[in-house]
A and B are shown apart, each in its own frame.
Chain A
Amino acid sequence: MNYIGEHLLPGQLGHFFIVLALVSALVATISYFKATNTRDLSDERSWKKLGRIAFGINAFSILSVFALLVYIMATHKFEYYYAWNHTSRDMNPEYLLAAFWEGQEGSFLLWSFWYVVIGLYFIARKTKWEAPIMSVIAIAQICLATMVMGLYIGDTMIGSNPFLLVREKFADAPVFARADYLNLPQMQDGQGLNQLLQNYWMVIHPPVLFLGFAASIIPFAYAIAGLWKKDYGTWTREALPYSLFAAGILGLGIMMGAAWAYESLTFGGYWAWDPVENASLVPWLILVAGVHTQVIFNATGHSLRTTYLFFILGFIMVVFSTFLTRSGVLGDSSVHSFTDLGMNTQLLLFLLIFTIPSLALYLVRYKQIPHIAREEETSSREFWMFIGSLVLFLSAMVITWQNSFNPIYNKITGQSTAAPEDVEFSYNKIQIFVAIVIGLLTAFAQYLKYKKSGNGWLKKFVLPTVITAAICVIYSLVSGLDYDKKGIGFQIAIYLAFVAAVYALVANAIYIWSGLNGKLKAAGGSITHIGFALSLVGILISASNRKVLSFNTTGINLKWDERSKEKPLENLTLIKGVPTDMGDYMATFVNADSTNSNGNISYYRIDMMRKDSAENFTLYPNLIRNTKGMEGFSNNPDSKHYWNRDIFSYITYAADMDNRDDTAQFKRYTVNVKDTVYYSNGFFTLNNVVPNPNNKKYQFQPTDTALMADITVFSKEGTRFTAQPVFYVEGNEARYIVDTVFAQNIAIAFSRVLENQKIELQVKESNRMVPFIALKVYEFPHINLLWAGIIIMTMGFGVSMVYRRKQGRLKAINKI
């Protein structure tokens, strides 16, 4: 059939470039392989040249694929599944890139894009390690190209093609029987980008994270190159800036994800030990361990074997995390892993292609890797740095085990083990001790000298110790760390970790002056440590002292379930316009009138007023109508930021979320005084009828014609309420005022006066009586320390990179 109106050219071009990318990556791999292995210089040169050309073609192909896919999405070519599934016409164009990496294919392309950048950089650098490094990168490019291949061999799908058409994806859908299916309404617009991803963090977090993932191949490739060429110890100086870059960027990328989670997810925080978060944290920990052993080797000649191991495993863990998060094995345990695309075998192969040869090479060459038989002095810096690296590495291994044991064990044995009862605590109770050890080591190791330290350092260490002690004592007296839910042991551990983190912070800050004479350019390490320690302090304070403000202690006649008392009753019901007591604040739900331009986000205005200082601010937690053809809403938090704390709020329930119409009808009852009427949750009695009432609620004059029914409502729970509907005459017309008992969801109207002292009452029961929301509000104290710490840490990595690069060059020149 000839379909009308399809634009097939971009897709055909795109797929052609994917195939070209694969072929050119293969050629580049072979050429660079040959260039590495040959001993003949002219041979090497010509193979290298071929490799460069092939990688150039690969780079051009990947960039073209990228551009074509962006073009298809930006111009709303909804015949393409990727555009149809991830974008829509009303989507803000600034989120186009977020939509690009919403799908697996786009994120693989992003990854591949960074390899292009890294590869071109190493070709331009003309390092002597170009051939082996580029071989490794080219192999990675082969693997990534197959991920977006979309070829069927027999029944096996190899990769998933981003240029697939909707009609190819859903070949059996009846709409494609029509040649003009593109004119159908359902093809006029796409499914849109998941609302939670329509956030500026989602535009920048994935590229930074993937740059970190991609950059972790550089130290890996250098390590492989060293083993391959049997030139074991000369790459480490040259590679140090790159391993610093990889660790710095990966850390930044991870924490950008944490910032996004904090801002737009309702985990109630920035870190939830979710398997996907863990999977990216593990390579970071190993890379940081590797950076430290690399520095040790550069300074002393120790720890080269460990450096190899860490850099090889660091990258393998990146690929492993890809396998975990994309294969669907995490299934039930993670909220945000990708769905199973049916590429498990392929992902496993990707993992094995890198794991088996690199570990085999490492083991075969292990004995040849130079090492110093004499042991490090206990008073040396390298000894304690090595211990620290080891702790980081073991911490990474423990997290990996906790993270992947269940899915893998269950898959193999068919058992049904599941995560522990308190998942976060199962990680926290281990990592808190890692934090203590790492904090202490970070504090004092820099004061030691390489090889051997005298006792002089102890004197220098007095000042930081005194300051730390002072800070900790003052903080404990003023605020303290308020986390006793897990018992006294864990609380002590939190305090110890706090002391260790403050120690690290203070000691490193002072070291910049006492050890480095204030030379900031050379202080990259100390700056990084300060940032890390500050983040740790921020995490410990904000997580331990996090306060729930929205404890439901209101007087809206709540009926509590008896067993619910021990549960976290963290949702406060706010009725529109009624100021409600919320700890230090009075909270008022004002309205839900404002929306964004598309009308799919409703902002709920909550006025918060401090009781003691009458300080006012307004929160706008919002509800976002889901896209992707789903009904319902996602809740999106809003925070008030102070320098020393955040007030964090999100809506857990809003009456109009269900968007059901109020279909309840008034029922009529004819009653006499003292008569009783039953409703679903109790009954009410008409006490008497008062003419021309004049009270707080109504101000009728004796000359008016008004009657008020005085009613007492008795709920099943035994609570009593008063209802006072009014019937009156104005300008010869009968009118009535309905009175509503919100807590019982009933409205009572006094609609007519009948004969024989009887009156007619109308009763409506509905759960849609009044606009209200249930709100959850947290206070995160000192969370800004965390964000500031991350920024300082990233800057520290940058300073180190520049310094080490200069140092590497100087050494290279000195050698000549």
Chain B
Amino acid sequence: MKKTHIIILIFIAVAIAVLISFMGDLTTYDTVASARQKEGKFVHLIAKLDKSQPVEYDPITNPNYMRFVAVDTLGNSTPVIYHNAKPTDFEKSERLVLKGSMKDGTFECDEMLMKCPSKYKEDVEANKNNLSSN
């Protein structure tokens, strides 16, 4: 066997090991109910802002604390605490991907992705609404 082949095999073995460890790090997308079952485990919670509940954010007192209620597509809701600044356009977000874990019935969010009708993605429907509403 050539030494190049040996090296290739070693590299491939390393690459596979690396990928297996990557698979171990993968997390899941969850609903409120399934996140509750995995209390304390890091998940991606897909939900919406419950607009009927107030968003608590008072940057003068603490710019790194906000609390709101998120509701998922099944209708379950959970309070969420986010230790960071309130993202721009938060109230207008249509969907939230909340990264964090459930602790004592409250979702502790480390990071969130907002799906807004603006930013990078253009939302045809939003534009269409513009067309009709003006």
Contact = CB atoms under 8 A, between A and B. Distances in A.
B119 A426 contact: no
Given A375-B4, A391-B11, A398 B19 contact: yes
Interface string A410-453: 00000011111100001000100000000000000000000000
Contacts of A185: 134
Contacts of B8: 390
A376 B2 CA distance: 9
B106 to A, nearest CB: 10
Contacts of A338: 121
Interface in B45-103: 46, 58-65, 81, 83-86, 88-89, 92, 97, 99
Interface string A78-95: 000000010000000000
Nearest to B87: A652
Interface string A534-575: 000000000000000000100010111101100111111101
A416 B29 contact: yes
B58 A767 contact: yes
A778 interface: no
B11 A416 contact: no
A666 B118 CA distance: 38
A191 B99 CA distance: 32
A360 interface: no
SS of B interface (majority)? mixed
A364 interface: no
Contact of B118 (A332, A335, A556, A628): A628
Contact of A386 (B4, B30, B44): B4
A632 B88 contact: yes
Contacts, number: 186
A375 B2 CA distance: 7
Interface string B16-33: 001100110111111000
Interface stretch (A12-20, A168-176, A310-318, A582-590): A168-176
A417 B44 CA distance: 9
B119 A335 contact: yes
Contact of A339 (B2, B12, B122): B122
B118 A626 contact: yes
A557 to B, nearest CB: 8
Nearest to B86: A653
Interface residues of A, number: 82
Nearest to A715: B61
Interface string A377-388: 010000100110
Contacts of B27: 417-421
B126 A628 contact: yes
A186 interface: yes
Contacts of A419: 26-27, 44
A697 B24 CA distance: 63
Contact of A552 (B2, B3, B64, B127): B64
A99 B103 CA distance: 45
Given A170-B131, A416-B29, A394 B92 contact: no
Contacts of A421: 25, 27, 42, 99
Contact of B64 (A196, A569, A631): A569
Nearest to A556: B60
B92 A631 contact: yes
Contacts of B118: 194, 626, 628, 630, 632
B126 A629 contact: yes
Nearest to B99: A421
Residue in B46, B110, B127 whose Cβ sees the most chain A Cβ within 10 Å? B127
Contact of A561 (B83, B123, B124, B131): B83
A563 B83 contact: yes
A184 B133 CA distance: 12
Contact of B26 (A394, A420, A626): A420
Residue in B59, B132, B134 whose Cβ sees the most chain A Cβ within 10 Å? B59
B128 to A, nearest CB: 5
A528 interface: no
Nearest to A770: B60
B130 interface: yes
A57 interface: no
Interface residues of B, number: 61
Given A194-B118, A420-B25, A567-B84, A394 B15 contact: yes
A122 interface: no
Contact of A394 (B11, B63, B115): B11
Contacts of B121: 338-339
A697 to B, nearest CB: 21
Nearest to B118: A630
A83 B116 CA distance: 22
A560 B62 CA distance: 7
B25 A426 contact: yes
A174 B129 CA distance: 11
Given A397-B15, A416-B29, A653-B85, A563 B108 contact: yes
A273 interface: no
Contacts of A337: 120
A418 B28 contact: yes
A580 B120 CA distance: 34
A780 to B, nearest CB: 20
B20 to A, nearest CB: 11
A269 to B, nearest CB: 15
Nearest to B132: A173
Contacts of B132: 173-175
A186 B130 contact: yes
A31 interface: no
Contacts of B60: 556, 573, 575, 742-743, 745, 767, 769-770, 772
A391 B22 CA distance: 18
B29 A418 contact: yes
Interface in A179-204: 184-186, 191, 194, 196
A628 B131 contact: no
A681 to B, nearest CB: 9
Contacts of B30: 416
Contacts of A632: 88-89, 92, 118
A186 B62 contact: no
A42 to B, nearest CB: 47
Contact of B122 (A85, A174, A391, A559): A85
A769 B60 CA distance: 10
B28 A417 contact: yes
A85 B127 contact: yes
Contacts of A573: 59-60, 63
Nearest to B95: A332
A570 B44 CA distance: 23
Contacts of B123: 339
A28 B42 CA distance: 55
A653 B61 CA distance: 13
B57 to A, nearest CB: 8
A653 B59 contact: yes
A634 interface: yes
Contacts of A742: 60
Nearest to A767: B58
A795 interface: no
Contacts of A655: 59
26 contacts: A103-B122, A170-B131, A173-B128, A194-B119, A332-B29, A339-B123, A387-B7, A397-B15, A405-B23, A419-B44, A420-B25, A563-B81, A563-B83, A564-B64, A564-B65, A569-B64, A571-B59, A571-B85, A626-B118, A629-B129, A630-B89, A653-B85, A657-B88, A742-B60, A743-B61, A745-B60
User: What 4 A-B pairs have minimum CB-CB distances, sorted nearest first?
Assistant: A652-B85, A420-B25, A630-B118, A632-B89
Given A337-B120, A397-B15, A398-B15, 13 more contacts: A166-B131, A186-B130, A394-B15, A405-B23, A420-B27, A421-B42, A552-B63, A558-B62, A571-B59, A628-B122, A628-B126, A655-B59, A745-B58
Interface of A: 85, 102-103, 166, 169-170, 173-175, 184-186, 191, 194, 196, 332, 335-339, 375-376, 378, 383, 386-387, 390-391, 394, 397-398, 401-402, 405-406, 416-421, 426, 430, 552, 556, 558-561, 563-564, 567-573, 575, 626, 628-635, 652-653, 655, 657, 742-743, 745, 767, 769-770, 772, 774, 776
